[in-house]
């Protein structure tokens, strides 16, 4: 069986490109920036061969605008960037959430603020991913820890974006993006591929929805005319000032994620059955945490790891139930304490929740996490 | 615990250390069917500046992908020696390019191999830039952590067309260098 598998030795960025192609992505608009540049490089070579289009835009504002436009034309679309570019994209990410346009934005996190540390690992965008654009909007973010998972979660990011009609962020750090390891490249026929729901008949109201709260989305040019705006709009897609309709629209874009949450949330539990010291970590920090947990277990310490694969929305119930048995929670992250705010909100007061924070451009080591476990 | 083997290649940008790490880890992961990760760290410069490439090879899935206590350390510049030698285990295999690392390596390090890798590449292949491949041949011979066939296969898939013979020769020179300069380690 092993013989038949397509096992390759790729970097996370290359695996992201492979995943996007398998997911059906046929448009990439972007502006190269370290440590995400290899994704643009990959897509520029591979998309034309797959019948897609690659455009290098003049900056990140136009990149995300091009991606949203291409998506409205009915094409699965993606961009990839890093901190400074991600900041520039924020307004249009909100536009995508408001107008309900599926899109995948890969953010390979690097040290910040500003241009910071282009080649060093970081996880300092996790709050920008949640709150970077103004207004209330549903943030969805996936965070892989390995090259194989980059491939799978890139496909998943497209599936969620198409299913929920909203922008989805794939949040990587430089280590996951540049690290090379084995990845199994699956074919289209071996993975689940979700395509956006389309309207079937006229008369057609672009923002009319059913029980799942998700309106169908036709591609431009397919015979369904519709208007797209970032203003509060009614079911016709045109702006409205009616307070009840504004309230309804604003709540619905949040609620459609909430009611469908169970279908998209993902997490991994590692030695959590009897764990007293719980580590909550994501991305490459989770791999350091796994090693620390293993070593702690060898020393007879009941440590465990909870790893969110969806940073947003988080598997809150699962985290809360594991934390209930824990005496201490440790949150290592390559920033000065961002995701710990989410963990604190979910777990609440009662047990100590401590962070391990590092912003020196070096990864958090297993031994640093282990000493905190042993404290 | 799994058998975990760590290699750190340290020098400066342009010496091919990242490619070297990729080839070595790919040999282990794809052709020897083990598990391996290759990671790197370098500065914002496009050439020059410190560069480091790390390989972790294991019988089972690698959790932490960076080297924590390397078994082999290759030092390709004086600056790399200054920075990474103090972090080395005393019994780690330490390989230094003897023309590029002039300062002394203290005798407390028990497994030191000084080899003029870059000079060998230049004089015997005619191309200085295959010094990284000479180093791979040397490391393979000293450690036997990947098979000879796998390393050559991985090498041939990762290099530009037309340079196959030159690279194969570099690999072979590395093997010979191990016998000449690292004979004290081969016996052990």
Here the CATH number for the domain that contains residue B55 is: 3.40.920.10
d(CA A162, CA A147): 23
Is B22 an interface residue toward A (CB < 8 Å)? yes
Are B62 and A181 inside 8 Å of each other by CB?
yes
CB A250 within 8 A of CB A232: yes
Q: What is the distance between the alpha carbons of residues A119 and A363, in angstroms, rounded to a whole number?
A: 12
Give which of A282, A288, A327 is closest to A309, Cα–Cα: A282
Are B63 and A120 within 8 A, CB to CB? Answer: no
Digit-by-digit pLDDT tens for chain A (375 residues) are 455 799 999 999 999 999 999 999 999 999 999 999 999 999 999 999 999 999 999 999 999 999 999 999 999 999 999 999 999 999 999 999 999 999 999 999 999 999 999 999 999 999 999 999 999 999 999 999 999 999 999 999 999 999 999 999 999 999 999 999 999 999 999 999 999 999 999 999 999 999 999 999 999 999 999 999 999 999 999 999 999 999 999 999 999 999 999 999 999 999 999 999 999 999 999 999 999 999 999 999 999 999 999 999 999 999 999 999 999 999 999 999 999 999 999 999 899 999 999 999 999 999 999 999 999
A144: in domain:
yes
Q: Which of B37, B66, B68 has its CB closest to that of A180?
A: B37
Whether residues A284 and B65 touch (CB distance < 8 A) is answered with: yes
Give yes or no: residues A114 and A10 share one domain.
yes
- Please count the structural domains in chain A: 2
Closest CA to A291 of A364, A201, A230: A364
A/B interface, count of CB pairs below 8 Å = 63
Please check whether residue A242 lies inside any domain of the structure. Answer: no
Domain range spanning residue B128?
A: 4-187
Q: Are residues A6 and A155 in the same domain?
A: yes
Residues A274 and A185 in one domain: no
Co-location of A147 and A10 in the same domain? yes
- The dihedral region occupied by A213, where left means phi > 0, alpha psi between -120 and 50, and beta the remainder, is left
Among the listed residues B82, B109, B111, B91, the one whose alpha carbon sits nearest the alpha carbon of residue B178: B111
Identify whether A252 is part of a domain. no
- Beta-bridged to residue B35, according to DSSP, are B58
**Where among A190, A215, A241 does a domain terminate?**
A190
Range of the domain at A45: 2-190
Query: Per this entry, what is the length of chain A?
Result: 375
Tokens found for residue A295: 């070593």
Q: Are the Cβ atoms of A290 and B1 closer than 8 angstroms? A: no
Contacts of B22 in chain A (CB under 8 A): 9, 180
Residues A147 and A44 in one domain: yes
Task: Tell me the CATH number at A367.
Answer: 3.40.50.920
Is A140 in the same domain as A46?
yes
A225: three-class secondary structure by DSSP: coil
Boundary-marking domain end, from A138, A160, A190: A190
Q: Which helix (H) or strand (E) holds A158?
A: helix A147-164
Q: Cα(A252)–Cα(A138) distance, rounded to whole angstroms?
A: 10
Domain count, chain B: 1
Residues A57 and A178 in one domain: yes
The answer to whether residues A274 and A146 belong to one domain is: no
> CB-based contact (8 Å) between B126 and chain A?
no
Per the confidence metrics, is the pTM higher than 0.90? yes
Closest CA to B26 of B136, B107, B102: B136
Of the three residues A160, A190, A220, the one that is the final residue of a domain is A190
- For chain B, first and last CA: distance in Å? 24
Does residue A56 lie in a domain region? yes
Tell me, yes or no, whether A199 lies in a domain.
no
State residue B175 phi and psi, 5-degree precision: -60, -45
Nearest CA distance, A341 vs chain B (angstrom): 25
- B172: number of Cβ within 10 Å: 17
């Amino acid at each position: 069986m092993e013989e038949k598998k397509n096992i390759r030795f790729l970097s996370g960025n290359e695996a992201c490109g492979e995943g996007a192609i398998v997911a059906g992505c046929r448009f990439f608009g972007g502006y190269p920036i370290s440590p995400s540049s290899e994704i643009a490089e990959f897509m520029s070579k591979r998309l034309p061969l797959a019948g897609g289009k690659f455009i290098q835009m003049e900056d990140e504002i136009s990149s995300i605008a091009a991606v949203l436009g291409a998506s409205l034309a009915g094409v699965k679309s993606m961009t990839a960037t890093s901190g400074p570019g991600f900041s520039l994209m924020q307004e249009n990410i909100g536009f995508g959430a408001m107008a309900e346009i599926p899109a995948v934005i890969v953010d390979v996190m690097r040290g910040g603020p500003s241009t910071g540390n282009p080649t060093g690992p970081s996880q300092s965008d996790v709050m920008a991913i949640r709150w970077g654009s103004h207004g209330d909007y549903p943030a969805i973010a996936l965070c892989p820890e390995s090259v194989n998972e980059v491939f799978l979660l890139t496909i998943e990011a497209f599936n969620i974006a198409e299913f929920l009609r909203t922008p989805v962020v794939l949040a990587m750090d430089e280590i996951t993006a540049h690290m090379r390891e084995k990845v199994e490249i699956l074919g289209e026929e071996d993975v689940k591929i979700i395509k956006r729901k389309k309207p079937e008949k006229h008369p057609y109201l672009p923002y009319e929805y059913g029980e799942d709260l998700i309106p169908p989305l036709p591609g431009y040019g397919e015979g369904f005319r519709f208007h797209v705006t970032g203003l509060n709009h009614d079911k016709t897609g045109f702006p409205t000032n009616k307070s009840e309709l504004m309230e309804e629209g604003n709540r619905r874009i949040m609620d459609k994620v909430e009611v469908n949450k169970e279908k998209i949330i993902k997490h991994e539990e590692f030695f959590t059955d009897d764990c007293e010291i719980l580590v909550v970590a994501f991305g490459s920090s989770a791999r350091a945490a796994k090693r620390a947990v293993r070593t702690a277990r060898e020393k007879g310490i009941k440590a465990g790891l909870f790893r969110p694969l969806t940073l947003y929305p988080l598997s809150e119930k699962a985290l809360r139930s594991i934390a209930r048995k824990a005496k201490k929670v440790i949150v290592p992250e390559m920033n000065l304490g961002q995701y710990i705010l989410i963990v604190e909100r979910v777990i609440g007061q009662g047990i100590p929740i401590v962070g391990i924070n590092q912003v020196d451009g070096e990864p958090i080591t297993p031994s640093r996490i282990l000493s905190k476990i042993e404290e | 615990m799994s058998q975990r083997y760590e290699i750190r290649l340290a020098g400066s940008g342009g010496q091919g250390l990242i490619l070297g790490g990729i080839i070595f880890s790919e040999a282990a992961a794809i052709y020897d069917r083990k598990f391996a990760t290759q990671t790197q760290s370098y500065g914002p410069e496009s050439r020059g500046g410190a560069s480091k490439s790390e390989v972790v090879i294991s019988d089972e899935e690698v959790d932490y992908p960076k080297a924590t206590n390397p078994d082999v350390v290759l030092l390709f510049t004086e600056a790399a020696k200054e920075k990474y030698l103090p972090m080395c285990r005393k019994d780690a295999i330490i390989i230094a390019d003897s023309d590029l690392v002039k300062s002394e390596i203290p005798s407390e390090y028990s497994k030191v191999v000084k080899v003029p890798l870059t000079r060998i590449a230049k004089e015997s292949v005619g191309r200085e830039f295959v010094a990284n491949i000479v180093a791979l041949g040397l490391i393979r011979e000293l450690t036997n952590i990947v098979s000879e066939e796998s390393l050559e296969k991985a090498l041939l898939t990762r290099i530009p067309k037309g340079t196959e013979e030159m690279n194969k020769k570099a690999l072979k020179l590395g093997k010979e260098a191990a016998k000449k300069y690292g004979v004290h380690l081969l016996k052990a």
